[in-house]
Structure 1
Amino acid sequence: MSITTRDDHPSTSVLPERIRRFPWPFIAENYRYSANVEPANKVVKTEVGEWGSSLIDIDEYYLEELREREAILERDPSRLQFLPHMRPAIWDAITTLLPAMAKDYPDTMSFTKEGKRCRWRNDLQNLDVQFTVGVDDSLPMGPLRFLGSQIQDDMAFLDKREDALWLDAGVITFAADWSIGFDTGMKFHEIHGPVPRITEERIVSRAEQFLLRLQPGEQYRRTNWTMTIDHRLDTSTETYPQWAHDRSTLAEDPNLPERLHLRVEVQHLVCLPHTGTVLFLIRSYLLPLTDIAKVPAWRENLGHVLAELPDDMAEYKGFIRYRKAASDWLLAG
């Protein structure tokens, strides 16, 4: 595949922000599961822009996605889960993420702390709140839901005990075909059991050992991807009846290029500084094929990846029925 540089296409400077900031996940014409872990806060250049400079990314969809999260939690409170022993880790996350956001977005956010007394200002929400670390009632909605109201990322908290990782808390409103309500209290290995190939290739075991060795304060990230029909962030198993039928009809839909989105998750792995809990941040981005086609290198790259992907992986990711139609459209140029 020939890669087109940004200099070869000066018109890419007028592409919309959603394309210029999109975290393109592929580095080859094929794809297999891998850990693909790298340090966080490292800028990645793409053919048309860049991404990755901040732990918490805030973009043009900030308020829209937070409104969507709030509506989902109102309809289905089970998307927020925490076991009682995770309270210190949740407060650890608050006092880690809010200062990071204030540092990266000083024009709209600020955080100050004196002892356990904190003040958080978020001008994007016209919010100015004071709270006391460790006192749940000092934050509106409680600490976990409050934190979920400030960042677009989903959050999963992995506790370290018995030489294993356990999913013991989280706010997951934008899941890609899984359920926080079902998985809470499960081991890392159990959660990833259904994923094809990764057990035989020991990817989960290696990933868990890496996470168990993380030291307080360390931050890493990785990307993951799938395909999503329509601009739908919430494809949790709870909503399966609302979107599953589209998988069987999309291949024949003339609007496939507008409806089918590449879904990329930027997953940050943060070892919280005070508790040592691993905070798993999942930020989901959606880009339709029509936008991908505006970048010739991306159009060709995704077309080849979809065509070459083994059937068992395409089946697990849920797009085996329409992946040929998508690949054919992309490679037709």
Structure 2
Amino acid sequence: MNASAELLDVPTRIANFPFPFAKDSYRYSTNVEPAGTPARTAAGEWGKHTIEIDENYHHELAERTRILASDASRYQSLPHMMPAQWDAMISIMRMLAESYPDSMSLERDGTAWIWRNGLLDTEQRFVVGDLGTLPIDPLRFATNQIQEDVVLLDQREGQLWGDAGVVTFAADWSLRFDVGMSFLQIHGPVPRVHAEGIVSRAQSFLMRLEPGERYRRTNWTLTVDGKLDTSTETYPQWGPDRTSLAQGPLEDVGDRLFLRVEVQHLIRLATSGSIMFLIRSYLLPLRDIASVPVWAQRLHAVLDDLPEDMADYKGITKTRGPAMEWLRAHAGVGS
């Protein structure tokens, strides 16, 4: 009997959560694997589709619309990236139509394309390369259909460059600040990864991707109150939450503190040659984590073992102590 069989009536939010830890310690690595194969966890599985649609679809798309309306800088694109935008939009639409044929389709009609999204009651006819046939730029239109953030990397001069994207759900970083930087520059603040050669190896791996190849990896942090938008731009709105949680009642930690996991898909676009990063953020409160004993034990072990410089970079210096204390008190781990 597998571990998930012991969990009866597991809610979908738990069964489909991409729990990221395979062992009791965590260090930075490239940790990439081919995409498209379901990954089993102690509670269920995730990763069947490159682009996942779940019960939060309409809520998260509405949240993206709200954020972009208040801060248009969450969309960035250097002028030379328009061909990659069209490439990314078509690729996203094809993946959606393949994974969700009952509600989405992409068809050719002569020189035009017709996109239909039954979940949004949307139909759009467009011609690739003709901006007048879309209401907004291609990457913006594409990200109105998916819950993922998107970053496009251009490959030139023997490097990758973050030259376009729509990022409304950043975990303590800013697309507006990073746009136009090289892959190595973007990851400059990350501790340990340069000395250990992780970023340079990751860039080499990405630059060898063939058109259409898809890989995935996970990243994680802790987020207070389940906020998706924890970008640098909105720090005054969410930064104090870490202190309030650390100073507040321990009983509140299980509901206020969330394990945040990013599933990042890395795809070489066939026409432009750019690399598309799809970044999907999942949030699960510690109370739900504690309902899966294996997860509770492992998260406690990872937090306990995590070096200080990594905890500081992830922004969890104030919250990992309360997280561990709550898990010990309410999930019976770490004793």
Q: Give the TM-score taking structure 2 as reference length.
A: 0.96
Is this contact kept in 2: 1:300–1:331, CA < 8 A? Answer: no
State the Cα deviation string for residues 181-232 of structure 1 (Å, max 9, x = none): 1110001111100011111111000000111111111111100000100110
State the Cα deviation string for residues 158-177 of structure 1 (Å, max 9, x = none): 00000000010000000000
- The aligned residue for residue 315 of structure 2 is 318
**Aligned partner of 1:43 among 22, 38, 44:** 38
**Aligned partner of 1:212 among 187, 207, 215:** 207
What is the DSSP-based 3-state SS (H/G/I as helix, E as strand, rest coil) of the residue aligned with 1:124? coil
Once residues 293 and 123 of structure 1 are traced to their aligned partners in structure 2, the CA distance between those partners, rounded to angstroms, is 37
- The aligned residue for residue 168 of structure 1 is 163
**Aligned partner of 1:262 among 247, 259, 264:** 259
Runs (5+) with no aligned partner, structure 2: none
- The aligned residue for residue 179 of structure 2 is 184
Q: Map of 1:250-329 to 2, 5 A cutoff?
A: 250-254=245-249, 255-329=252-326
**Mapped pair 1:99 → 2:97:** no
Q: How far did residue 4 of structure 1 move?
A: 7.0
Q: How far did residue 115 of structure 1 move?
A: 4.6
Once residues 114 and 91 of structure 1 are traced to their aligned partners in structure 2, the CA distance between those partners, rounded to angstroms, is 17
Once residues 202 and 170 of structure 2 are traced to their aligned partners in structure 1, the CA distance between those partners, rounded to angstroms, is 20
Q: Give the TM-score taking structure 1 as reference length.
A: 0.96
Q: How far did residue 95 of structure 1 move?
A: 1.4
Is this contact kept in 2: 1:39–1:221, CA < 8 A? Answer: yes
| AA aligned opposite 1:174 | F
**Mapped pair 1:20 → 2:15:** yes
- The aligned residue for residue 129 of structure 2 is 134
Is this contact kept in 1: 2:253–2:326, CA < 8 A? Answer: no
Could you say if the C-alpha distance between residues 206 and 115 of structure 1 is closer, same or farther in structure 2, counting changes exceeding 3 Å?
farther
- The aligned residue for residue 189 of structure 2 is 194
What is the DSSP-based 3-state SS (H/G/I as helix, E as strand, rest coil) of the residue aligned with 2:265? strand
What is the DSSP-based 3-state SS (H/G/I as helix, E as strand, rest coil) of the residue aligned with 2:119? helix
- The aligned residue for residue 6 of structure 1 is 4
Once residues 164 and 7 of structure 2 are traced to their aligned partners in structure 1, the CA distance between those partners, rounded to angstroms, is 46
| AA aligned opposite 1:26 | F
What is the DSSP-based 3-state SS (H/G/I as helix, E as strand, rest coil) of the residue aligned with 2:62? helix
| AA aligned opposite 1:66 | L
Once residues 202 and 10 of structure 1 are traced to their aligned partners in structure 2, the CA distance between those partners, rounded to angstroms, is 40
Once residues 328 and 162 of structure 1 are traced to their aligned partners in structure 2, the CA distance between those partners, rounded to angstroms, is 49
What is the DSSP-based 3-state SS (H/G/I as helix, E as strand, rest coil) of the residue aligned with 2:164? strand
Q: How far did residue 322 of structure 1 move?
A: 2.3
Q: How far did residue 331 of structure 1 move?
A: 3.1
Once residues 247 and 325 of structure 1 are traced to their aligned partners in structure 2, the CA distance between those partners, rounded to angstroms, is 10
What is the DSSP-based 3-state SS (H/G/I as helix, E as strand, rest coil) of the residue aligned with 1:298? helix
**Aligned partner of 1:239 among 234, 241, 262:** 234
The alignment covers a number of residue pairs equal to: 328
